[in-house]
Amino acid sequence: MIAKMILRGREYEVKPGMALADALKKNNIVPESVIATRNGEMITDDEILRAGDVIQLIAVISGGNISCDSHL
């Protein structure tokens, strides 16, 4: 049984026994740009993924609020 990561609806299959940070890198996901949760609980980058895990990845980057920076 594999582990699974989900980011914005896209699924990534991961071999169990791999650390989260390695799984992210293997799938070209920059660890700094996501937060991972398992069963609603946040997990750290060194967490080892287990068979059957479903890891929800929450994207952290937003681009909407940096234009309010200067005066008129």
Partner 1 sequence: MRQHKLALCKDHYLEWIPEQTARFIKKYEMFTPEEKILVAVSGGKDSLALWDILTRLGYQADGLYLGLGIDGGINYSHESQRLTEKFAYENNLKLHVLDIEKEYGQSIPVLSEISHRGHGRPCAVCGLAKRHEMNRIARELGYDVLATGHNLDDEAAVLFGNTLRWSAEHILRQGPVLPGADGLARKVKPLCRFYEREMTAYSILRGIEYIYEECPFAEGSQSIFYKEALNQLETARPGAKLIYYLGFLEARKSGNLFVEKNERHAQLHPCPKCGQPTSAPELCSFCRMIEKAVSEV
List of residues contacting partner 1 (CB under 8 A): 30-33, 35, 37, 42, 44, 58-72
Q: Which is nearer to partner 1, 1 or 68 (CB)?
A: 68
Q: Which is nearer to partner 1, 1 or 72 (CB)?
A: 72
CA 5/CA 53 separation, integer angstroms = 8
Minimum CB separation of residue 5 from partner 1 in Å reads 16
Minimum CB separation of residue 4 from partner 1 in Å reads 20
Which residue spans within 1-72 are E strands per DSSP?
A: 3-7, 10-14, 34-38, 41-43, 54-59
Instruction: Evaluate whether 30 touches 24 at the Cβ level (below 8 Å).
Output: yes
